[in-house]
Structure 1
């Protein structure tokens, strides 16, 4: 009795393999390279331009401060042997404080830039996810994978997503 049951189960499994194989061939899979989307899409390029415009003035000011600080340090190095000890110490202290202020301003700029980049990237990825969902629904995908280790160009739909994002206003 037990062997008849096992035989029947084996026959059922073997006969269902062609059905499972046919279903697997109908599976529609897409692949998305999100790094390409964040690099090549028009909204990503526009966000980069906005950030550049927003932060270029501060970056220029900080480079100017850094240059002036370096020049003041060089001047102090040249004049140090002829300066009275108290004057030399005072100027060194001032330069040290200015260096710390410059470091603080650079850190603040980096933090502000990172925050704004995250905001822009979040908006872009939200937009991309909506487009991916639309493509998923309209083209009847079973699975869309993002950032796979290996993917065939046959299933890469990144260009389609970029084009759809660029077409939106």
Structure 2
């Protein structure tokens, strides 16, 4: 039901945009000026996006190393337990199994928190990049007198793709 609703909503939005363009451009007027931007490419390849990625790596590298060290410790404890199982008393074996299981649960919790924190910060950083990109897109639209700029499309003719222009302004530090 929700997929159908989304499809109807997106088709309705496309039909509304088409109708708005047709209504805004009388038959005797010039054609509508349309451009397209690849937001995914901007979020992947622009200097602000790359700077955000470096910032995130620096911010989260210490926690990542701690998790890797913890995983190695758990593996070492589990390997030692496997090796010593035959010579351990039942109580010692159960105690060490419990220690490994407790440490593994703590590791899983810390890893989950790490992923959640990283995803939240990544979303915040990318939202800032996208906000800057949208300002640049609006600026280019006004300067070049575009009637419509599409950010997501199934197909874009390279002739109307202005992604490189947006990235040049973003990479130059444009606002």
Q: TM-score range by the shorter chain?
A: 0.7 to 0.9
Which of 131, 135, 149 is matched with 1:130 structurally?
A: 135
Cα root mean square deviation, aligned: 1.2
Q: Does 1:59 align with 2:69?
A: no
CA shift digits 1:3-43 (9 cap, x unpaired): xxxxxxxxxxxxxxxx72x53x5211000000110011110
1:43 is aligned to 2:48? yes
Residue 163 in structure 1 maps to residue 168 in structure 2:
yes
Q: Matches of 2:173 and 2:81 in 1, distance apart?
A: 58
Quick check: 1:78 aligned with 2:83? yes
Moved over 3 A (4+): none
Equivalent residue runs for 1:107-118 within 5 Å:
107-118=112-123
- Taking the aligned partners of 1:150 and 1:115, their CA distance within structure 2 comes to 31
| Partner residue in 2 for 1:28 | 33
CA shift for structure 1 position 168 = 2.0
- Partner SS state of residue 85, structure 2: helix
Q: 5+ residue gaps in structure 1? A: 1-18
Taking structure 2 as the reference length, the TM-score comes to: 0.82
Match of 1:94 in 2: 99
> Could you list the per-position Cα deviations for residues 58-95 of structure 1 after superposition, in whole angstroms to 9, with x for gaps in the alignment?
11111111011101101001111111111110110111
Larger Rg: 1
Listed as ranges, the gaps of 5+ residues in structure 2 are 1-25
1:81-130 deviation digits (Å, cap 9, x = unpaired): 11111111011011100000000010011011001001101111111111
Cα deviation per residue 1:129-150 (whole Å; 9 max; x = unaligned)? 1111111111100110112101
| Number of matched pairs | 149
CA distance in 2, matches of 1:40, 1:115: 20
Q: Secondary structure at the match of 2:96?
A: helix
